[in-house]
Chains A and B, each alone.
Chain A
Amino acid sequence: TQLLEQSPQFLSIQEGENLTVYCNSSSVFSSLQWYRQEPGEGPVLLVTVVTGGEVKKLKRLTFQFGDARKDSSLHITAAQPGDTGLYLCAGAISNYKLTFGKGTLLTVNP
């Protein structure tokens, strides 16, 4: 059973467009992380959100944690080809393990 559902699974857009990817669960998380992974590489941590309703910005990326701490979204403004990659959300329920979604594979075409 996948605790974290990510949508869409695949997304192909043109450079300059905006996009939002979603991470949803029926479970409450103590924290949630977003990672970006390129082929053959390990995931790179983008952000950690902890408080319900929290919004964090990282340049053109905006992350939001749901009020109930069960869901999150990642919005990218004016996407660039360098944003291409697999975006993974991961939720922490216990102190020692992260539960990952299957990821959203983003392709930004020049």
Chain B
Amino acid sequence: DQQVKQNSPSLSVQEGRISILNCDYTNSMFDYFLWYKKYPAEGPTFLISISSIKDKNEDGRFTVFLNKSAKHLSLHIVPSQPGDSAVYFCAAYRGPHSGSARQLTFGSGTQLTVLP
């Protein structure tokens, strides 16, 4: 039962253009959504998050959009840089109110390649 899905395993974008990474989820009980970035041979690093009561959060070149009715979120990177090339994981967080432990559920990741 995949509660968080990233349907695009890879994405290539030209340097300076916009990168859009997508994520879908099935559980309406998630409280927060997060994006992590992972380089080879390193652990994931936190990038940006959004509360389930918001529809947009921006941090520099990174913006996350949340569409609750569609159970869809996206990460926009503008402008894209070669150093952004990495695997991006979408993750969803359930708080204790749902009766479960505070946990993250991850998507399968999207490999972003920014071409110089």
Whether chain B is bound by chain A comes out as no
Residues of B within 8 A of A (CB): none
